[in-house]
Amino acid sequence: MTTCREIHDFLMTWLDGELEPAVNERFEHHIAACSCCNNYVDSYRKTVELGRTAFDPCGDAASESTDAAEVHPPLPDELVQAVLAARRKASPPGDGA
Ligand SMILES: [Zn+2]
């Protein structure tokens, strides 16, 4: 049985594709069926995606911002975690303690 807690604990492992196939399947099953985890995964992915695209050198603006890389270092994992923690704290009560 996959619980919301497991989803949160192993999300990174899952995104890295390092879960066993059987576990991976249960994971995706739970996320598809659980709106709470669905939102969690979604916002996590968006956060990671934002971090990536913000420093994509292939963007249109790349030619006019050659020094952008030294202004903003890559999004550190700690920051992603902090954002997610803040989101969790901000979420309304009653979402299962
Ligand atoms: Zn869940």
pLDDT tens, residue by residue, 55-89: 666 655 545 555 555 556 677 888 888 888 888 87
> What pLDDT was estimated at residue 81?
87
70 CA → ligand 1 middle, Å: 39
Per-residue buried b or exposed e for 14-31, using 16+ beta carbons within 10 Å of the residue's own CB? beeeebeeeeeeebeebb
Question: CA 73 to CA 65: how far, in whole Å?
Answer: 14
Q: Which alpha helices (DSSP H) does the chain contain, by range?
A: 4-15, 21-33, 35-53, 68-71, 77-90
Contact 47, 83 (CB under 8 A): yes
37 CA → ligand 1 middle, Å: 4
